[in-house]
């Protein structure tokens, strides 16, 4: 799942300078489970806006912000009729939702209130920083490292083996001494021979990925209907807010 985190209040307030009447869209999917979106994120953002003496003209949860057809319905229903009294649209979503809002051209400035950190595990037992954030390195090696990502865990970004200066036994990282060397942990559970072979495979100039399965996409009209339907369901945000 895409992991997002709040920007600082200073940055958000700076982005809203000179803007008084604010609309807020909050994503009900990834951002909801991150605590940056959904009804909880919406309540937090609207409270901040009122603290800054802003006027909230629209505050809505969106079933999914990164689908153009769906988000466009929310914009058509809630933003376009209020453009004359709306100075900005604040998005509580991943970067995909923010980009989608720009693509839909709501007619008002789009403001991102969160940062996308990458894909990762949403866990109630451990912070996502401990579990590890995917840095989208193109060639995943988790199969051979027992789920420990060497790219996100190693400051030197070594994917197939430790750097030459790595400690021979468990010890601090030579690049960042405040953390232990992740490769000493990986070596206990990893198939190092397989990783060496992967380095050769991934380095081949003729490396060819399998083609994606040819699936017929959902028709745009059906997505539009879905967005229009979800945008008008009363009490939906309360139901989604129960999933945490």
Is the residue at 198 inside a domain? no
Residue 11 — very low, low, confident or very high, per pLDDT cuts 50/70/90?
very high
| 132 lies in some domain | no
User: How confident is the model over 93-143, as pLDDT tens digits?
Assistant: 998 999 999 999 999 999 999 998 888 776 666 655 555 667 778 898 988
Residue 126 lies in a domain: no
Same domain, 106 and 46: yes
pLDDT at 156 over 80: yes
37, 85, 151, 164, 205 from 113: Cα distances, Å: 10, 21, 27, 41, 41
The whole-number pLDDT of residue 111 equals 94
Task: Clarify whether residues 87 and 31 are in a common domain.
Answer: yes
Mean pLDDT across 153-159: 91
CB count within 10 Å of CB 18 equals 7
For the sheet with 114-120, list strands across it.
Answer: 2-6, 114-120, 133-134
Do 103 and 141 have their domain in common? no
Looking at the fold, whether 103 and 142 belong to one and the same domain comes out as no
Residue 208 lies in a domain: no
pLDDT digits (tens, 9 = 90+) for 177-197: 998 999 999 999 999 999 999
Are 105 and 226 members of one domain?
A: yes
CA–CA distance, 183 with 202 (Å, rounded to integer): 20
Domain contains 13: yes
Report residue 152's pLDDT band, with 50, 70 and 90 as the boundaries.
confident
Q: What is the mean pLDDT of residues 7-15?
A: 93
Residue 210 has pLDDT above 80, yes or no: no
Same domain? 64 vs 110: yes
pLDDT of residue 206: 87
User: What does the pLDDT read at residue 208?
Assistant: 86
Is there a single domain that holds both residue 103 and residue 167?
Answer: no
Residue 142: strand, helix, or coil: helix
CATH code for position 81: 3.40.50
**Residue 11 and residue 98 share a domain:** yes
pLDDT in tens, 72-101: 999 999 999 999 999 999 999 998 999 999
Question: Is there a single domain that holds both residue 84 and residue 175?
Answer: no
Whether the CB-CB separation of 55 and 21 falls below 8 Å is answered with yes
What's the chain's length in residues?
244
Whether the predicted pLDDT of 219 surpasses 80 = no
Same-domain check for residues 73 and 147: no
> What is the per-residue pLDDT for 114?
93
Q: What is the mean pLDDT of the chain?
A: 86
Residues 113 and 143 in one domain: no
Within-domain flag for 200: no
Dist. CA 236–CA 31, nearest whole Å: 16
- Whether 21 is covered by a domain: the verdict is yes
Residue-level pLDDT at 48: 96
Q: Which residues pair with 34 in a beta bridge?
A: none
Domain count, the chain: 2
- Does residue 44 sit in the same domain as residue 88? yes
The pLDDT value given to residue 159:
93
55: left (phi over 0), alpha (psi -120 to 50) or beta: beta
What's the rounded mean pLDDT across residues 155-174? 90
State whether residue 168 is helix, strand or coil. coil
C-beta separation of 199 from 160 below 8 A: yes
Give the pLDDT score at 224: 74
Residue 202 lies in a domain: no
Residue-number span of the structural domain to which 28 is assigned: 2-118+221-239
pTM check: above 0.75: no
pLDDT band at 49 (very low <50, low <70, confident <90, very high): very high
Decide: helix, strand or coil at residue 51.
Answer: helix
- pLDDT at res. 9: 92
CA distance 28 to 7: 18
């Amino acid at each position: 799942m895409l992991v997002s985190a709040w920007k600082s209040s200073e940055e958000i307030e700076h982005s809203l300078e000179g803007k008084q009447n604010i609309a807020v869209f909050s994503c009900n999917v990834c951002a909801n489970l991150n605590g940056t979106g959904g009804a909880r994120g919406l309540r937090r953002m609207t409270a901040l806006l009122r603290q800054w003496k802003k006027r909230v003209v629209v505050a809505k949860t969106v079933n999914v912000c990164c689908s153009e057809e769906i988000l466009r319905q929310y914009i058509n229903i809630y933003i376009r009729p209020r453009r004359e009294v709306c100075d900005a649209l604040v998005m509580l979503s991943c970067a995909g939702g923010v980009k989608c809002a720009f693509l839909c051209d709501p007619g008002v400035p789009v403001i991102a209130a969160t940062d996308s950190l990458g894909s990762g595990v949403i866990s109630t037992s451990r912070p996502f920083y401990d579990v590890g954030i995917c840095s989208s390195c193109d060639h995943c090696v988790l199969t051979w490292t027992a789920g420990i990502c060497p790219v996100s865990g190693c400051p030197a970004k070594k994917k197939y083996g430790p750097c030459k200066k790595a400690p021979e036994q468990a010890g601090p990282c030579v690049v960042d001494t405040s953390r232990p060397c992740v490769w000493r942990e990986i070596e206990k559970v990893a198939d190092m021979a397989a990783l060496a072979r992967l380095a050769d495979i991934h380095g081949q100039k003729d490396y060819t990925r399998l083609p994606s399965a040819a699936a017929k996409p959902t028709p745009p009209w059906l997505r539009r209907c879905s967005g229009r339907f979800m945008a008008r369901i009363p009490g939906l945000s309360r139901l989604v807010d129960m999933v945490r």
